[in-house]
Structure 1
Amino acid sequence: MSENSGNNEAPNTPTPPGTPSGTPGTPSGPQPEPIRFFGTTWVDHDGGYGLRRVGVAVGSLAAAVAACFVLRFAFQGLEIAEVGSLVGMLVIAMFAICSAVAFRKTWEAFGSRPKDPAREDALRGLKSIGFIGSLLAYFVRSLIEAPGEKLRRTEYESARAQFEKRRSTRTGNPAARKRPKRR
């Protein structure tokens, strides 16, 4: 038998999700929530965080511009079909209003969790029509920070503080006890 018969994993292999935090290699306490396109690089701004922010900004702006061209072609189709100026104005108003609502709701989602998830589900169709507003919200927010970073950082830091407080005040925890200095 080899020396390593009890351990089939290679050394320094990351532990799979769901493994208890007491196992070696897994930090104890709350873990940061990953952000789309950023993972957990937002915690220490490492792992290409700056490049990812630039990529999200450029990508969301490019997607918004491409979407505007697609909407322009759709509007030209309405002009070719000669549906009338009223329908054309209604279509423009619909996309403008839906984009404004989608921008506002997306921007609010970066700062706080939704208070009523059922209402958010009901607005999903409206936000999908106004997807240009959501893309522009991603663009503007990525100029400031990773979209949703402030909310997740606040939640993560408060969870870490609560964990440290519970860990240090728990009786019988030898890791939290201060060791007396020897003379």
Structure 2
Amino acid sequence: MSEQPPTTAPAPAGAPVPEAIRFFGTTWLDRDNGYWLRRVGVSVGSLAAAAAAVLVLRFGVEGVALSDNGGFVNGLLTAAIVVCSMMCVRRTWKLLTEGRDQLTGWMAEDKSLGAVWLIGGAGSLLAYFARSLVEAPGEAVKRAAHERAVAQHVKRQAGRSGRPDAKAPGRGKRKK
């Protein structure tokens, strides 16, 4: 049996619109219109891109190994690639689960650490792959923001309706 996507009523005028996610648009909201197929595609694509990035890094490491600089240089290069990849994994995971606003310190510095992000790109792609197995990458952040916006919209609409029970406490009372 196929699972039916949840049906939602059309949004009223002035209601917040969900923010689009790359490759998914706004299908993440109701998980319809090919959402699952896109998730599979994103997972496979990011894994293939990570494999290509690892292959490029391997060619670079082999090039340094051919120069006969010694084991220390080869070990240093390998350690640098591992550290850069781990930094990228951490940053990408935090970005996809908590949002760009939560990046602080060294994680927020995009321009100054550009070489680190380039070398560790394979780690970033692997984090993207792992997150795409759980949800559309970045979906949790967008969903939380959208739910907050909808709650604020409902609260504003209730405040305009004139119902005293819907208004915030202390509003509408006059001091004598």
TM-score w.r.t. structure 1 length? 0.74
Distance 1:154 1:57 in 2: 23
Give 2:139's aligned residue. Answer: 149
1:101-140 per-position Cα deviation (integer Å, ceiling 9, x unaligned): 1001110111223345674124444222201111001100
Q: Which runs of 5+ in 2 are unaligned?
A: 1-10, 164-176
TM normalised by structure 2 equals 0.77
Q: Is the 8 A contact 2:64 2:74 kept in 1?
A: yes
Percent of aligned positions with the same letter in both sequences? 48
Residues 96, 138 of structure 2: 8 Å contact kept? yes
Task: Tell me the number of residue pairs that the alignment of Structure 1 and Structure 2 aligns.
Answer: 150
**Aligned mates of 1:124, 1:170 — CA distance in 2:** 49
**Structure-2 change in CA distance of 1:73 and 1:124 (3 Å):** closer
1:131 aligns with 2:121: yes
Matched, 1:33 2:19: yes
Q: Does 1:165 align with 2:116?
A: no
Residue number in structure 2 paired with 1:100: 86
CA root-mean-square deviation: 2.3
Aligned with residue 90 of structure 1, among 76, 88, 106: 76
Match of 1:14 in 2: none
Could you tell me whether the CA contact under 8 Å between 2:21 and 2:139 is conserved in 1?
A: yes
Deviation at 1:77, TM superposition (A): 1.0
Structure with greater Cα Rg: 1
Q: Give the helix-richer structure, 1 or 2.
A: 2
The code of the aligned residue for 2:135 comes to E
Q: Is the 8 A contact 2:15 2:153 kept in 1?
A: yes
Structure 1, 106-115 or 144-153: larger mean CA deviation: 106-115
Q: Secondary structure at the match of 2:82?
A: helix
